[in-house]
Structure 1
Amino acid sequence: MKKTERGGDYIDDLRRRIAACTLCAAHLPLGPRPIVRFSPTARVLLVGQAPGTKVHASGAAWDDDSGDRLREWLGLDKATFYDDDKIAQMPMGFCYPGRAGGGDAPPRRECAPRWHDAVLDILPDDRLTLLIGVHAQARYLPHLKRMGLAERVARFGEDLPFVALPHPSWRARMFVAKHPWFADEVLPTLREMIAARVR
């Protein structure tokens, strides 16, 4: 089926199928609760890691301190950030993966191969895709895998329509302090690019 033929019924059915997914339920300590948002008009896509416990509880992507920091970076208020017609949100793993090594476990590997292409096929071809954190970057910028995070982020503009960003956890304060060009050069331009797509 061509993208132009995929109407509301197809999209609603895809949302229902994702919501009912139990592909890796046996490995999820809090059970499945897929967190993903998309629309055929969303020209900005956020590809993150996986929901944390707060997001799992609320059902809203980036509904935590990391989300506050991300919205500040992107220059977006909550209303725009959660407007599905403008911003799509698709983590590498749609459900909370549990704990490992003193923090959250990596995203489950089953999710992206099962669902990402179907979601991407709904989105506009001229979208801007923000790859937030190393897991998203490993999948969508595999040719940069050997680079460090700062090197990938510093390539801002070279890999469009993909933009690599650090994950906005509390650790990001250290990244921003160590790399002042991120706040001085990358974020102002990124905000302009996003604003042009969400008007």
Structure 2
Amino acid sequence: MGRIRACRICRDAPRGAKLPHEPRPILRVSSSARLLIASQAPGVRVHLSGLPFDDASGDRLRQWMDVSREVFYDETRIAIAPMGFCFPGHTAQKGDLPPRSECRAAWHDELFRALPKIECILAIGRYAQDYHFARLGGPLPKAARVDEIVRRPPEFSGESPKIIALPHPSWRNSGWLKQNLWFETEVLPKLRESVAKLIG
């Protein structure tokens, strides 16, 4: 994984605009991990700390999973690999830009072949969902909404590894969570059961 951490493609040979700051690829992986958190891209706070989900989104995700920080950051059990390894920068409206496409093209297929023991993928957000469902042979319909993907994943996913689709745990999704109360009653118990089996 040292090659990924040393990657400077977005600075030296970008597809389009150059990354607006020095690259800092962030991931935590081990060949022994059985659970993969496939997220979108680091935010600015994670870019500064170098620790994925070291923010309020991470607090909410750990609560969803019912795991401690210690367990969450044990990369021998839980791998964390975003679709974009570096913070992509901000839009004019101060939101985060989408994950950079260079990471997917240069690294992702190779990376996930190097994680042979993954039995379950927590696919957070549409970028990760599109990539992992397609990679495992079940591409998502372009018109599928977040609530459809999260609530009815068996329609889209294969058997191994299992994919659990999740909305992003950002505070920006608090409204979605309030409008979709089934997420807490239907999805979280199954998520916690799966996580407990894999890290136990």
Which TM-score applies when normalising by structure 2?
Answer: 0.87
- Show the 5 A alignment for 1:50-65: 50-65=41-56
Is the contact made by 2:23 and 2:86 (CA closer than 8 Å) also made in structure 1?
Answer: yes
1:171 aligns with 2:184: no
Q: Aligned pair count?
A: 185
- Whether contact under 8 Å (2:33, 2:118) holds in the other structure is no
User: 4+ residue stretches of structure 1 with deviation over 2 A?
Assistant: 140-145
Contact kept? 2:33, 2:117, Cα under 8 Å: no
Correspondences of 1:154-193 after superposition (within 5 Å): 154-158=151-155, 159-160=157-158, 161-193=162-194
Shift of 1:125: 4.2
Deviations 1:148-180 (A, max 9, x none): 111100114442511111011112211211111
User: 1:104 maps to which residue?
Assistant: 96
Query: What whole-Å deviation, never above 9, does each CA across 1:115-148 have from its counterpart, x for those lacking one?
Result: 1122211213452011101111122233333201
Residue 131 of structure 1: aligned partner: 123
Mapped partners of 2:19, 2:43: distance in 1: 12
Deviations for 1:72-102, whole angstroms, at most 9, x for unmatched residues? 1111110010000010011010001101142
- Alignment CA distance shift 1:126-1:97 (3 Å): closer
Q: Percent identity?
A: 46
1:67-146 correspondence runs (5 A) = 67-102=58-93, 103-141=95-133, 142-146=139-143
Identify the residue that residue 4 of structure 2 maps to in structure 1. Answer: 18
**Cα distance in 2 for residues equivalent to 1:66 and 1:32:** 22
Deviates more, 1:165-174 or 1:136-145: 136-145
Contact 1:133 1:165 in 2 (8 A): yes
Residue 3 of structure 1 aligns with which residue? none
Superposition RMSD in Å: 1.4
Amino acid at match of 2:30: S
Contact 1:156 1:186 (8 Å CA) reproduced: no
Scaled by the length of structure 1, the TM-score of the pair is 0.88
Kindly indicate whether the alpha-carbon contact (under 8 Å) linking 2:37 and 2:123 is maintained by their aligned counterparts in 1. yes
Matched, 1:37 2:38: no
SS state of the match for residue 171, structure 2?
coil
Aligned equivalents of 2:57 and 2:96: distance in 1?
A: 13
Contact 1:92/1:107, CA 8 A, preserved across alignment: yes
How far apart, CA to CA, are the structure 2 residues paired with 1:61 and 1:126? 19
Q: In 2, are the aligned partners of 1:157 and 1:163 still within 8 Å (CA)?
A: no
